[in-house]
Chains A and B, each alone.
Chain A
Amino acid sequence: MSAQDLAIDAKVQETCFHGRHIQPQIYAGLVSPDGWHLKDYEQREGYQALRRILSEKITPEQVIAEMKSSGLRGRGGAGFPTGLKWSFMPRQFPGQKYLVCNSDEGEPGTFKDRDILRYNPHIVIEGMTIAAYAMGIPVGYNYIHGEIWSTYERFEQAIEEARAAGYLGRNILGSDFSFELHAHHGFGAYICGEETALLESIEGKKGQPRFKPPFPASFGLYGKPTTINNTETFAAVPWIIRNGGPKYLEVGRPNNGGTKIFSMSGDVERPGNYEVPLGTPFAKLLELAGGVRYGRKLKMVIPGGSSMPVLPADIMMATDMDYDSIVKAGSMLGSGAVIVMDETRCAVRSLRNLSHFYFEESCGQCTPCREGTGWLWRIVNRIETGKGTMRDLDELDRIAYNIQGRTICALGDAAAMPVRAFLKHYRDEFAYHVEHKKCLVPA
Chain B
Amino acid sequence: MSAVPETPPLLSDAARSRIERELAKYPPEQRQSAVMSALAIVQDETGWISPQVIDEVAAYLGMPPIAVYEVASFYTLFNTKPIGRYRLSVCTNLPCALHDGAKAGEYLKERLGIDYGQTTPDGLFTLMESECLGSCGDAPVLLVNNKRMCSFMDNARLDALIAELKEAGR
Listed in ascending order, the chain A residues whose CB lies under 8 Å from chain B are: 3, 6-9, 11, 13, 15, 96, 105-111, 113-114, 141, 145-150, 182-190, 201-207, 222, 263-267, 271-273, 302, 306, 337, 339-341, 345, 350, 353-354, 357, 360-361, 363
Contacts and interface: CB of A to CB of B under 8 A. Distances in A.
A203 B32 contact: yes
A115 to B, nearest CB: 8
A273 B134 CA distance: 12
Contacts of A147: 77, 130, 133-135, 143, 146, 149
18 contacts: A9-B150, A108-B132, A111-B135, A146-B146, A187-B75, A187-B76, A202-B33, A204-B31, A204-B63, A205-B70, A265-B95, A265-B137, A271-B136, A339-B98, A353-B93, A353-B94, A357-B131, A357-B132
A350 B92 CA distance: 12
A189 B135 contact: no
A363 B130 CA distance: 16
Contacts of A96: 27
B82 to A, nearest CB: 18
Interface of B: 25-27, 30-37, 39-40, 61, 63, 67, 70-71, 74-78, 92-99, 130-139, 143, 146-152, 157, 160-161, 164
A189 B33 CA distance: 16
A267 B99 contact: yes
**Interface pairs A-B: 4 shortest CB-CB:** A204-B32, A188-B76, A265-B95, A188-B77
A8 B164 contact: yes
A149 B135 contact: no
Given A109-B136, A187-B36, A188-B76, A205 B71 contact: yes
B33 A203 contact: yes
Nearest to A184: B25
Contact of A271 (B63, B139, B143, B150): B139
Contact of A8 (B40, B61, B70, B160): B160
A111 B96 CA distance: 12
A222 B27 contact: yes
Contact of B36 (A9, A185, A222): A185
Contact of B132 (A149, A190, A206, A266): A190
